[in-house]
Amino acid sequence: MAYCGNCGTRLENEKFCPNCGMACRASAEKSVVRTRIQMAAEKNQWTPAIITISAIMLVIILILVYTSGSNTIVGRWKAGNDYSGSENVEFFRDGTFTWTSYGYSMDSFSGKYSVQGNVLNMESPSYGTLSLNFKRDGDTLILESAGGDSIYFHKVR
């Protein structure tokens, strides 16, 4: 049984395809070649879509990794050592923070923060600018002053 290599119509000893007019001398081999060419063309039409979808997925993954990575400090933290009573700090995604200390007297201040490498810069109208080295190890945030004093905070869930 033969089929037209152009449109796939079933042929019976015709010299030309009754459907599309293609010469029927095309051998079965040409039909196979044509089919492979068509398959390659169909496969290639999906390439741009696959590349676009892959790029979008990569961007989403990078955003998730960046915003939930081990160096992010966004969230609520409670001091875990006897620094000066009880310290609580909360860092918000919008770049602001609130620091509350329950020591000899209650002291609270807030402002803006930024992170550059392993340096945390906190800017507050009450205290000016404070730069602290920081390190995050899982659910522990370690802030170190220029004098070497360290405060260990634990993530509040």
In this structure, the strands spanning 106-116 and 75-79 are unpaired
Question: Cα–Cα distance between 124 and 111 in angstroms, integer?
Answer: 4
According to the model, what pLDDT value does residue 27 have?
47
> For residues 135 and 84, which has the higher predicted lDDT (pLDDT)?
135
**Residue 16 near residue 6 (C-beta atoms within 8 A):** no
**Can you tell me the mean pLDDT for 89-95?**
92
φ, ψ for residue 101, nearest 5 deg: -120, 130
Tell me the average pLDDT of the chain. Answer: 79
Residue 33 has pLDDT above 60, yes or no: no
According to the model, what pLDDT value does residue 81 have?
61
Residue 34 has pLDDT above 60, yes or no: no
Question: Out of 3.30.420.40, 1.10.10.10, 2.130.10.10, 2.40.128.280, which CATH number does the structure's domain 75-155 have?
Answer: 2.40.128.280
> For residues 8 and 43, which has the higher predicted lDDT (pLDDT)?
8
Q: What is the DSSP string of 3-37?
A: E-TTT--EESS-SB-TTT--BTT--HHHHHHHHHH
**Can you tell me the mean pLDDT for 67-94?**
75
Q: Domain residue spans in the chain?
A: 2-67, 75-155
According to the model, what pLDDT value does residue 28 have?
47
